[in-house]
Amino acid sequence: MSARPLHFLSADRPFSESRVAILGVPLERTVTFRGGPAQAPSAIRYASWSLESFSLHSRRDLTEAGLCDLGDLDTERSLEEILGELEREVAGLIATGKRPVVLGGEHTITLGCVRGAKSALGKLQLLILDAHSDLRDEYLGERISHATVSRRAAEAVDRLLIVGARSFFGPECSEPFFASPGEIPRKLAVDLPVWLSLDLDVLDPSLCPGVTNPEPGGLSYRELLDVFDALRGFQVVGMDLVELAPPFDPSGVSAITAAKLIIEAILSLWG
């Protein structure tokens, strides 16, 4: 008897029949505080099976969204190789009409995602939900890391918007990239495709403690649902969810929150 590999809830469509493709990237390479994001894709998949497929918020069912689960990328390689393959995977998925949902992993994966989306589409804007600006030009001697990902991504896309930031390393807080949740509809360009990057530390850590770099304050779960609703008028072409650290939440609530947010995002944006 053989067991099917762990996959996300309702992600049982053949690739050829799917509209949304789940892809895990268990990358943990530049983490500088609390570890564990390499365990996140599996933890999120496992947690998803504790949830119902029907969303009361969107009045839609995940079983009708057309999901497939492509498993995980091999992260036992150089960071450059990993981001390069992720770029090619995302570009290929978008070119075939799929909506990629990438499960991190540390936030550095967003760079590979947006490079791929930009390659496929020719133009792109990035909405990052994050407690930290991540706009450093380098950190600990590295130009590509979880602490520089917004800066590197800004160099790859046509427009960047960061929502939920409350941690800055200096004068970067004056950068024209920041907005409140309510400003999203007028700060994004209606004629540019959108990639959504959701760092779980954007939430108040009392709601989601199992993250790599918790920051006091933050958005509520309801506010994130409002963000998904605000994006319905835009062409959102894919998303990633990053920085879950399962070892730092033995209750498993953080992984469940991550899985639930993935469900709600899929149904709000593409259901």
Relative to beta strand 60-61, strand 54-55 is: antiparallel
In 44-67, which positions are buried (b, 16+ CB within 10 angstroms) versus exposed (e)?
bbbbbeebebebeebebebeebbb
Domains of the chain (ranges plus CATH)? 15-270 (3.40.800.10)
d(CA 154, CA 136): 11
pLDDT of residue 1: 39
> Which percentage of the chain shows pLDDT scores above 90?
87
CA 128 to chain centre: 8
Angle separating helix axes 109-121 and 149-156, nearest 10 degrees: 10
Task: Calculate mean pLDDT across residues 186-197.
Answer: 97
Given its phi and psi angles, is residue 186 left (phi above 0), alpha (psi -120 to 50 degrees) or beta?
alpha
Query: For residue 4, what are the contacts with CB-CB under 8 A and spacing of at least 6?
Result: none
Residue-wise pLDDT for 129-186, tens only, equals 999 998 988 877 788 888 899 999 999 999 999 999 998 877 776 778 999 999 999 9
Q: Which residues of 5-31 are buried (b: 16+ CB within 10 A; e: fewer)?
A: eebbbbbebeeeebebbbbbbbbbbbb
Q: What is the pLDDT of residues 62-110, one digit of tens each?
A: 999 999 999 999 999 999 999 999 999 999 999 999 999 999 999 999 9
- Kindly tell me if the per-residue pLDDT of 2 is higher than 50: no
- Decide: pTM greater than 0.85: yes
Strand locations in the chain (E): 20-25, 54-55, 60-61, 67-72, 99-104, 125-129, 159-163, 178-179, 194-199, 236-242
Cβ neighbours around 97 below 10 Å, total = 8
